[in-house]
Amino acid sequence: MLNLILLQDLAVEGQQQNQWSFWVMMILIFVVFYFFMIRPQTKRQKEIQKQRENMKKGDKVVTAGGIYGEIKEVQDTTFIITIAKDVTIKVNKESVYADAADVAAEEKK
């Protein structure tokens, strides 16, 4: 009888330890996921947003569709981009990125 009571007490302690270690592992997984996945992505998004805010007339850009051009006019939410002589398009600011050649040149400085 005494052995049965002791075994039950050990089983309850083992379950409590398993629950505790489960939560510790879940927290560790979340922390690793945050530092290796979420944080770098938000940092990159902030850099892109800052880059878009600093774009001005005359900057060379690439649209999300792969169209290369030069900014002719900056509006609140859009850019007017010249893609060829006398050919302009109006695009949303969110779909415009700095020209890769310009970014590489800035990194070398």
> How does pLDDT run across 68-80, given as a tens digit for each residue?
999 999 998 899 9
Q: In one letter, which amino acid is 25? A: M
> How does pLDDT run across 49-97, given as a tens digit for each residue?
888 888 889 889 998 888 999 999 999 889 999 999 999 999 998 888 8
**pTM score > 0.75 for this model?**
no
CA distance 78 to 90: 7
Taking CA atoms, 40 is separated from 23, 47, 101, in Å, by 25, 11, 23
Q: Does CATH number 1.10.10 belong to domain 55-108? A: no
Task: Parse the chain into domains and list their residue ranges.
Answer: 1-54, 55-108
